[in-house]
Structure 1
Amino acid sequence: MHTRRPLIIAAAVATAAFTLTGCVPNAGTGEAAALTVDSGADSCAVSADTAASGPITFTVTNSGDQVTEFYVLAENKLSIVGEVENIAPGASRDLTLVAQPGEYFTVCKPGMVGAGIGTTPFTVTGESVEANADDAEAEDAAVASYTAYVKSQAAELLPQVQEFVDAYVAGEDAEAKRLFPLARVSYERIEPTAEQFGDLDPSIDYRKPGAEAEGLPFTGFHRIEMDLWLDAAAENYPDEKIVALTPAERATLGEQLVTDITSLYDLVHSDDFTLSLSDITNGAIGLLDEIAAPDGKLPGEENEFAHTDLYDFTANVEGAQVAYEAVRDIAAAKGDEGAELTKTLDTQFAAMLELLATYGDYEGGFVDYSTVDQNARNELGAQLNALSEPLSQLTHTVLGVSAA
């Protein structure tokens, strides 16, 4: 992937000041570069696509007819390094950042759901800005950055799931099969957060054996998967009578999934939703554990009927990387041990994603996982281990405690 240093957030909104990598008194003394952003109904126009390192203020004006948000994203288009939200039609708000050199993206999100519009490259030139780390501010910034990411992924998830369910309920099975793995990507990136909310994850994402073992109704993504890939389901469960769901049963199942995803969206956007540093670091570790588990992606058990496990595998790694990058500079500041750990993790995340990319991508599709032979799975497993082992040290390095 990349080894760019992230933007340092000096103020994510007009009234809240925090930093991503510590205090930056040397950077904050100069006058901020002033850029304007017009967030329209179907456009996101930034007055320039480059700026010098140091303070930058984006004045975001909402010329559309819906409440909007504006984001500055990292080079991976996933990590949020600055955001201002709840901009009413006709209103303006400022986002002030202290920026390090590197490649970024700007994007607006009218309605505050979906993937956003007008994603545009943004380059910061010049020299690195020296930062004097302040632990409390750096920690607050890491939590704020990752919390914004979770909210953004939940906002993207909702329309993706609705589109998938609409196709499924309408009996458009070929389209529903195409959308199934794509509708899961944002969920798989933030699954540890969903798991904090009691029965929500079981309702959304439990597989058949897990639901039955806990005496829970079999609902959610995998119940729909089973109905769409009925022949594979019959083959996997030869002792059971597997029959297609009726249109009414499809409608009920689809409605339940949309309701559950809406609940997830509402929960992470509520005023009392909070995350901690340990939630972030342990969440990163947990995402890789999801891959390697006996019923996970690496053994090919996650999507046992559709064999779309490589989509989920990649999404888990991406989510873990975003969580890691939120706390990366905190870890790197922890002496030689932290510096060596972050160097290793940078390398191993890049290697893992590079290997996964040999099997496809979201846009063009990943190969059917049932066609990936054991030698290839062993190679994936070896690289996953090379990443998981150092990542397991992240909580200890950042917080001085062992991973939960």
Structure 2
Amino acid sequence: MRPVRLSVVTAAAAVTALTALTGCADKGDAKGGDGAITVTAKDDACEVSKKEFPAGHVTFDIENKGSKVTEVYLLFPDARIVTERENIGPGTKASITAEVKAGDYEVACKPGMKGDGIRQQVKATGGKTVKRSPEMDKAVADFRTYVQQQADETLPKVKVFTDAVRAGDVEAAKKAYADSRIGWERTEPVAESFGDIDPKVDLREDGVADLKKGEQWTGWHRLEKALWQDKKLGPEEKALADALDKDLADWAGRVGKAEITPTSMANGAKELLDEVATGKVTGEEERYSHTDLVDFKANVEGAQKSFELLKPVAAKNDPKLVTELDKQFAAMEALLDTYRADKNTYVFTSYDKVTAPQRKELSDGVNALAEPLSKLGAAVVK
């Protein structure tokens, strides 16, 4: 849910990645085929073809007819995210399938990927009860265990980081910074589904303008700037460290209650590749510390975990897709390994040392993985 700012030399590569990640660059009219709900996103409107639809597995065919990159969300009334598709370029389409229970929801389009967006009220009525196979139930249960484990393991790593900040030890805080973010980056779509936690802990400087009145820029990236650009730790930074501990403890306490379905797992894997394309390949995410490749690796690992858990179901429905995803995940892992001396550690090349041709190679690798990964959700519900 973070804004995209394509201001570095890799902007062209990122735009290519965005096209791949939307899953379709066709510029024809969206018809909402096969019973899908059509969402037409414009700069000043969010048009939905059906305001009521049966509950169950629901597909949204999205077309961006605006002039800005947009994102589309299906939201619970309390603003929790049911499903989302970010980074839909102008003139492109995307499709997303979600498991939707009967109830009231909002569809939100966010032109420019900013603000609260343009919203439409929709309702899922009666409809089919989604029946899951034992393999699907196991995948969801195992993934719930995984995200809780990642949150629980993050807290002590964050405390090493925040303790260094509180002690005023710049070098120790720098050393602990990237490691403290790995568990979050592996499971970010689940954390983002709550709506209120991500802006507190992971907001980049681009998003400061979107903060509501009275809100402050807090979290990892505010401290990243203090460490690498300002090169100082004072009372304000120590207070930010306390807030980060508190907000991440809140995350760890709530993550076990997240709405998780097989389709949200598949869509979340796609979202993690989206994060790579728009934040890590461009060098935008960690613009001060240049630890982007650590985040990159963690995002890919989180996507791969979802895929591995869903593989027993996907292999029955689309074995060719599973074979291709196995191949592309292996290729992505091999490419990332070229940027670290020891495969058993998370010490990667500083991203400011990665050349433009190398960034293009990384972008191409993301594209090659993103295209088949965008089909995983459909393979799960066949």
TM-score, normalization: structure 2?
0.63
Q: Which residue of 1 aligns with 2:367?
A: 385
Q: Which residue of 1 aligns with 2:354?
A: 372
Please give the alpha-carbon distance, in whole angstroms, between the structure 2 residues aligned to 1:285 and 1:265: 23
Q: Which residue of 2 aligns with 1:210?
A: 207
Please give the alpha-carbon distance, in whole angstroms, between the structure 1 residues aligned to 2:176 and 2:295: 13
**Could you say which structure has the greater relative contact order, defined with CA pairs below 8 angstroms and 6 or more residues apart?**
2
Please give the alpha-carbon distance, in whole angstroms, between the structure 2 residues aligned to 1:142 and 1:183: 26
Paired residues of 1:283 and 1:320 also in contact (CA < 8 A): yes
Paired residues of 1:161 and 1:258 also in contact (CA < 8 A): yes
Q: Work out whether 1:292 is the aligned partner of 2:272.
A: no
Q: Say which structure is richer in helix.
A: 2
Structure 1 residues 225-244: Cα deviation after superposition (integer angstroms, max 9, x where no partner): 0000125xxxxxxxxxxx84
Superposition RMSD in Å: 1.6
Q: Which residue of 2 aligns with 1:93?
A: none
Paired residues of 2:179 and 2:346 also in contact (CA < 8 A): no
**1:303–1:364: structure 2 CA closer, same or farther, 3 Å change rule?**
closer
Q: Which residue of 2 aligns with 1:228?
A: 227
2:181 is paired with a residue whose SS is helix
Please give the alpha-carbon distance, in whole angstroms, between the structure 1 residues aligned to 2:243 and 2:160: 14
1:219 is paired with a residue whose SS is coil
From the CA coordinates, give the structure whose radius of gyration is larger. 1
1:355 CA drift (Å): 0.3
Please give the alpha-carbon distance, in whole angstroms, between the structure 2 residues aligned to 1:273 and 1:189: 15
Paired residues of 2:189 and 2:272 also in contact (CA < 8 A): yes
Match of 1:330 among 309, 313, 323: 313
1:211 CA drift (Å): 2.3
Q: Work out whether 1:312 is the aligned partner of 2:295.
A: yes
Please give the alpha-carbon distance, in whole angstroms, between the structure 2 residues aligned to 1:385 and 1:320: 14
Please give the alpha-carbon distance, in whole angstroms, between the structure 2 residues aligned to 1:191 and 1:362: 23
Q: Which sections of structure 2, spanning at least 5 residues, go unmatched?
A: 1-130
Q: Which residue of 2 aligns with 1:275?
A: 260
Q: Which residue of 1 aligns with 2:167?
A: 170
Q: Map 1:232-271 to 2 at 5 A.
A: 244-246=232-234, 248-269=235-256
Please give the alpha-carbon distance, in whole angstroms, between the structure 1 residues aligned to 2:355 and 2:310: 36
Please give the alpha-carbon distance, in whole angstroms, between the structure 2 residues aligned to 1:245 and 1:171: 5
Q: Which sections of structure 1, spanning at least 5 residues, go unmatched?
A: 1-133, 232-242
Structure 1 residues 258-311: Cα deviation after superposition (integer angstroms, max 9, x where no partner): 001100110023xx4441111100000000000111xx0000000000000000
Please give the alpha-carbon distance, in whole angstroms, between the structure 2 residues aligned to 1:180 and 1:353: 23
Please give the alpha-carbon distance, in whole angstroms, between the structure 1 residues aligned to 2:357 and 2:320: 31
Paired residues of 2:272 and 2:303 also in contact (CA < 8 A): yes
Please give the alpha-carbon distance, in whole angstroms, between the structure 1 residues aligned to 2:142 and 2:368: 27
1:187 CA drift (Å): 0.6
Q: Map 1:184-195 to 2 at 5 A.
A: 184-195=181-192
Q: Which residue of 1 aligns with 2:320?
A: 340
Paired residues of 1:308 and 1:368 also in contact (CA < 8 A): yes
**1:197–1:339: structure 2 CA closer, same or farther, 3 Å change rule?**
same
Q: Identity of counterpart residues, as a percentage?
A: 42
2:245 partner letter: V
Structure 1 residues 123-152: Cα deviation after superposition (integer angstroms, max 9, x where no partner): xxxxxxxxxxx9521110110011110011
2:158 is paired with a residue whose SS is helix
Please give the alpha-carbon distance, in whole angstroms, between the structure 2 residues aligned to 1:197 and 1:289: 19
Please give the alpha-carbon distance, in whole angstroms, between the structure 2 residues aligned to 1:353 and 1:211: 33
2:135 partner letter: A
Please give the alpha-carbon distance, in whole angstroms, between the structure 2 residues aligned to 1:273 and 1:311: 25
Please give the alpha-carbon distance, in whole angstroms, between the structure 2 residues aligned to 1:319 and 1:199: 21
**1:153–1:364: structure 2 CA closer, same or farther, 3 Å change rule?**
closer
